[in-house]
Amino acid sequence: MGYDHHFRVWRGDETGGGLEDYVVEVNDGEVVLDIIHRLQATQASDLAVRWNCKAGKCGSCSAEVNGKPRLMCMTRMSTFGRDETVTVTPMRTFPVIRDLVTNVGYNYQKAREVQAFAPPADLAPGEYRMQQVDVERSQEFRKCIECFLCQNVCHVVRDHEANKQAYAGPRFLMRWPSSTCTRSTRPTARTWPRRSTGSGSATSPSAAPRSARRTSRSPTTR
C-alpha cells in the first residue's frame, strides 16, 4: 500500500540553485530512483537525473541521499522513517551540469591518458608469464563500476579544487609495470605502481614481498 513521503531535491545548474520540496507517493519495495522517476512523471518533468541499469551495476545514478553518497537505485525507501524527510542532492566533488547530474568527464580524460599494456618486445609467443597474484590485483580495479562515489567521499579531491583534475577513479589509475611479469615463474618481490602526487610519490601499504604476504595470511575457518 502506498503512502506520501516528503522529499527535498536540489534543483539548479552551474550558476546556482537550491532545494525544493515535494510530496511523492511511495510504494512498498521501491528505491529512491523509483521516486525520482515518479517525481519526473508527475510533478517535475524537467528534473535532470542520470541513470541506466537500475541494478547497481553501471554506477550512473550516484547522488547524495541525506548527505551520504549513494547509488539511488540501491537505496531502499524502507530504510527511512515515514516521517523522515529524504534529501537528494548531486555529488559535491563534481561540477553540476543540472539538477542531480554532475560532470565527471575528467575521469574519462584520464582514462585516455593511460597507456595500453604490452609485453616486453623481446619475448616470443608462449614465453610470457603472469603470476596469479598479479591477475587478482588487476581484478580489484575491474570491479569498479565508475560510480565515482570514492572521489565524492575523498576530502583530498572534494575540498581542494586543484587536485580534481589530477585524480581519476580507481579503474583509470591501474598501471602494469613491464617488470611485474617476466620469463620467470617465481618473480622477485615487487611494489605496487607509484602514482605521482606533485610533491612526491605514494605507494600502496601492501608493498611487502609476496612471499611475506602469503605466509601472513591465516586460513579461513568456518
117 CB contacts (<8 Å, ≥6 apart)?
A: 176
Q: How far is CA 156 from CA 77, 105, 170, 184, in A?
A: 31, 19, 15, 39
The predicted pLDDT at position 217 comes to 39
Domain spanning 3-102, CATH architecture = Roll (3.10)
The whole-angstrom separation of Cα 62 and Cα 71 is: 5
Task: Provide the H-helix boundaries in the chain.
Answer: 32-42, 105-113, 132-142, 149-152, 155-158, 161-164, 210-216
Taking each continuous run of H as one helix and of E as one strand, the counts in the chain are 7, 9
Residue type present at position 42: T
- So what's the pLDDT on residue 146? 87
Place of cell 540553485: 17
pLDDT at 21: 97
pTM of the model: 0.69
Give the pLDDT of residue 115.
79
In tens digits, what is the pLDDT along the chain, a chain of 222 residues? 689 999 999 999 999 999 999 999 999 999 999 999 999 999 999 999 999 998 989 999 999 999 999 999 999 999 999 999 999 999 998 999 999 999 998 888 887 887 777 888 888 888 888 888 888 887 877 788 889 998 888 888 888 887 777 776 655 554 433 333 333 333 333 332 333 334 333 333 333 333 333 333 344 443
Q: How far apart are CA 20 and CA 172, in angstroms?
A: 36
What separation in angstroms does the CA of 200 have from each of 68, 139, 178, 203? 32, 27, 22, 10
pLDDT at site 169? 62
Rounded Cα distance between 211 and 213, Å, is 5
What is the predicted pLDDT for the residue at 51? 94
Domain ranges of the chain: 3-102, 105-185
Query: What is residue 186's predicted lDDT score, i.e. its pLDDT?
Result: 33
